[in-house]
Structures are given as structure tokens and as C-alpha cells.
Amino acid sequence: GLGMGMTAPVSITAFPAEDGALQQKVKVSLRIPSSFQANPPCPSDESIKIEERQGMTIYSTQFGGYAKEVDYVNYAAKLKSALGSEVAYHKDFYFCNGYDPPMKPYGRRNEVWFVKE
């Protein structure tokens, strides 16, 4: 029953298939605002879970525009290529992050994150 406003980034955990396409299974994560961190409100919907994301080291690439699935897949492939085979990171998932509200037409920021192993 509490309104917390929108936070950034909106983070989608993507699970790539063998061919690099994304599986239908995704997890959307929203940051709980600082004022609610110590005592977050309990979700009334059972499908919503409160999780604590541990600190992590990431490899990241950034791009603009209105991001679609194909954009995240393409930038993930570019990041994978840039890292090469010597860098150890989790290959079974990655994060697709958007930082801007839908009505922001210019200067949009999106990122793909690979989590270091």
C-alpha cells in the first residue's frame, strides 16, 4: 500500500540460450529506495520477492536509445567478444539494465552486465 516511486536501474536478469537468444524466463529487479532499505514494506503479491543483491564485480557495456531485446542480445555478444576467452564470468545469465523513464526521448542509458566469477 506504499508508493515508493520509480528507481534506477530497472535490472532484468536474462538467461541466454545456446544460440545467444534469450530464454522466456527473466527476472525483473527494482532497487528499493534508500529510505525503505532498513525496513522494506511487505509485498502483497506472492510473486514479488525481496532479495538482497550481494556486492559483485561486473564487466559492462553501455548504449543509448530505446532498448529492445535484440539490442541487449547484440551488446551482450559484443561484450563477450571484447572480453575474449581468458576472462572468467558467469555465462548462464547476465543483467540488462535501463536507467530512464519511457517518456525520456534523448540521452537514454542502457547497460549489459556480465558478473565476474
pLDDT band at 81 (very low <50, low <70, confident <90, very high): very high
Task: Please give the model's pTM, rounded to 2 decimal places.
Answer: 0.87
Indicate whether 18 belongs to any domain: yes
Residue 46 within any structural domain of the chain: no
pLDDT recorded at residue 7: 83
Q: Residue 4: pLDDT band by 50, 70, 90 thresholds?
A: confident
CATH at residue 85? 3.20.80.10
C-alpha cell recorded at residue 37: 532499505
Domain boundaries, position 111:
10-35+54-115
Q: Closest by alpha carbon to 106, among 57, 60, 55, 65?
A: 65
Give the C-alpha separation, 109 to 22, whole Å: 21
| 13: amino acid identity, one letter | T
Question: What is the H or E stretch that residue 95 is in?
Answer: strand 94-98
> Residue 108: inside a domain, yes or no?
yes
Number of independent structural domains in the chain: 1
